[in-house]
Amino acid sequence: MSSGRVSRHARMRLIAAVATVCALSSASLAPQAAGAETPPYSETHRPRFHFTPEKNWMNDPNGLVYYQGEYHLFYQYNPNGDSWGDISWGHAVSKDLVHWEELPVAISHDDEEMAFSGSAVVDWKNTTGFGTEKNPPMVAVYTSASKKDGTQAQSLAYSTDRGRTWTKYQDNPVIDIGSKEFRDPKVQWHEPTGSWLMTVSLSTERKVRFYSSKNLKDWELLSEFGPAGATGGVWECPDLFPLAVDGDENNIKWVLVVNINPGGIAGGSAAQYFIGDFDGTTFTAEDKGTYTPPAGTVLEDFESGDFGGWTTTGTAFGGGPSAGSLSGQLPVEGFEGKGLANSFHGGDGATGTLTSPEFTVDSPYLNFKVGGGRHPHEPGTVMEQGPPPAGTVLADFEGGAYGDWTKTGDAFGDAPAPGTLPGQQEVSGFLGSGLVNSFLNGDATTGTLTSPAFTIDRKHINFLIGGGNHPSGSFDPTALELLVDGKVVRSATGRDGEALNWASWDVGDLAGKEARIRIVDQHTGGWGHINVDHIMLSDTAARRVSQETSVNLIVDGKVVRSATGPNSETLDWASFDTRAYAGKKARLQVVDMNTAGWGHILVDRFTAADAPARSVVERADWADYGKDYYAAVSWENTPGGKRHMIGWMSNWEYGGAVPTSPWRGAQSVPREMALRTVDGRIRLTSEPVGALRSLRRQGGPATAAGVTVTDGVKPLIGPAAEGEALDIEARFSLKDAERFGLKVRTGADGEETVIGYDATTEELYVDRTRSGTADFSTTFPGVQRAPLKAKDGKVRLRILVDRSSVEVFGGSGEAVITDLIFPDPDSRGVKVFAEHGSVKLDHARVWHLGSYRD
């Protein structure tokens, strides 16, 4: 991992950010029922069999090594709070990869550096001289993140007492190339060359470097790999290892894992991989050939001199298709023919729409190419800002002074700002002639602005907010906070844009409480400021104004499918599944309502087809197709040469806002990795480590067999199968159902997490749109999908259900989906379902699982 990765939410922004999708406009940060009185490890949402620290923030796994009967799990850790910051190496050990013991912090941050991600090895030959050959040292190779200037370099620490205490090497760093984007070294012994091999990331260049050393101190550059595969975000936490194909030791391939954020298959963070060969110097990925999209009927290719029957509003799209890039724009690539629709007319500040004539949906898929900004469509937004809802205005910042608000620091000045400040991009979206704007003298200034006390007597608090995306509780926030009894109970932040937009807190549960509003700017780096205006109490939630750059399919006046660009001027294929709308009238609408960075969209070649086109991201290979498996790395020196991998079970889109306390962050179940030939292609597969079975409770599983379900839902077995920590094995025989599977953590008001198989698309999926608490991030609800073909007409699933997660392994482990969920503790049901036909559940076995601390 790095801990210092760019574009991570709730993470260090000393580092210049790569343009990313900014998540989270408002979130409930109220402490859950599991307060200080609750015994450790019994809190709501605390995992039973996934490792979590007793308290505080945890993200990427680090330093995975086996030594003297112990598997060591180090991890990025903040010893001083439950948000990202003061990053150090936490430490836990296990004898079986299942039962874990948390140990004291191993490698601590200090006045000069934080200890970002890396790896650990046993220096058996004492090449470093840190130990002896009789007592070889454990050596950690980590990224030193300078607190002074953000430089990232590779450093050493060592231990001669089985990892219990660590000493930083006095001549650190051992590799320093003067970069702020150089991190996450994975080191191993490469026997053929008799050398140490380091795999490390040049994150923003989307490259991996390989270095060689004889002593872990002096390193020689060997080669580079990349960019390749998915490149929509920074590359982090690389790993390189050999595996036998189908168990054949005479057929060895090398696997290069490269974690990416954002730009993953399900959005945000994810772990991709490449299969190829490594000759001791260079990694060469297998050639996957060129891609040809499905043929079909072209509906619009933008090759004529005007938009024909398409209608425009605004100025962004000009009078007709463009021939490529426009004035002031980077080179536009990837479009077909000579023309495309390009909303960069007038630059990013221009807005508008481009709408097709009405047509009848008569094909299963609508394929097209899209590029430009990553600003997704948000359901419920409006195209234009109307008057705010009726209510009581707490502050409109129109009086030329802050009145009885209390100010600290120098970021807010002596009075509200009249709009854009010197050196600032244009500020828009505020009401009247004044607003709070902490850009006074640039991003380097800091401070707070706190309201007088007021009583919450309406259901909502509405406000306009913009500026930096540094959430409350994170390292140096820029945030609007609601304080009750001195505690932050609600928080909101901007989205790294100067345009203010409405946000709303539901405060119905706080009725009658005395509260204050605090505006905080503690950030001195990029987007280190906040814009706020028109704070009001109302019985109606304000509706956000669209800031999307998107392609929308509209049926019956509603947006039913949507796609956005990847913050790139290179167009790539996208696809709408239109089967549900066959025979209906529809329109396509290309929308640019964004005036900030990447505030434009590119689109070309709408084609009706019988099969979906696949983007570069979809054609890449992924170790996990869920939203919550990142920074995946593997253990070195494991018994029997097995390759075990683990990942941080979260996503930087919302990792700093998940509703857990007093800890934040969990690790996945360790997985045994293999290379298998699936449908004629070599795939990296994974399955839970065998020792997990030791957590199965005595008494055997609850079982079901030979159950046929037709167009409905029924309990899987009954109360014996219900629970919050389960290990489920199920096999289905396909009949004619379009979709089928299991629903877990079911409860009142339709709460459920759906684990299904779509026979029409041959995909495994997890639907967490109704899985429980999800209001902390707009990107959390959704459906994650993984390609999975039935084998001999059957679909096999292994499902691990915990208090706040599901991990689903399909087939032979080639389709894996890991997702966080936050259900009500009383939602414990398990049901089997079928849609539009019948399916046969051949058998199911459900075990209750104990805790890793038992």
What are the C-alpha distances in Å from 519 to residues 173, 298, 406, 508? 39, 52, 10, 22
Q: Count the neighbouring beta carbons within 10 Å of the beta carbon of residue 224.
A: 13
- 235, 206 contact by CB (below 8 A): yes
Q: Could you identify the residue written with the tokens 């390759």?
A: 643
Q: What is the DSSP string of 543-574?
A: PPBP--EEEEEEETTEEEEEEE--SEEEEEEE
Cβ-based burial of 146 (10 A; exposed 0-12, middle 13-18, buried ≥19): middle
* Token output for 281: 């110097």
Cα diameter, the chain: 81
**Torsion angle, CA of 687/691/697/699, rounded to 10 degrees?**
90
**What gap in Å lies between CA 716 and CA 562, rounded to an integer?**
35
Distance, CA of 233 to CA of 370 (rounded, Å): 17
- 824 classed as catalytic: no
Could you give phi then psi for residue 699, rounded to 5 degrees? 110, -10
Decide the pairing of beta strands 805-810 and 702-715: unpaired
Amino acid at 360: T
Give the Cα separation of 32 and 787 in Å (integer): 37
Q: How far apart are CA 476 and CA 795, in angstroms?
A: 48
The contacts of residue 122 (CB under 8 Å, 6+ apart) are 65, 67, 136, 137, 138, 139, 636, 637
Contact 767, 780 (CB under 8 A): no
- Tokens found for residue 490: 């609600």
Amino acid at 651: N
Question: What φ, ψ does residue 77 adopt, rounded to 5°?
Answer: -150, 140
3-state secondary structure of 345: coil
Among 491, 494, 483, which Cα is nearest to 435's? 494
| 438-451 per-residue burial string, b: 16 or more CB within 10 A, e: under 16 | bbbeebebbbbbbb
Q: Which amino acid is at 95?
A: K
Evaluate whether 109 touches 86 at the Cβ level (below 8 Å). yes
Q: In sequence order, which ranges of 748-843 are alpha helices (DSSP H)?
A: none
**Which residues are known to be catalytic?**
60
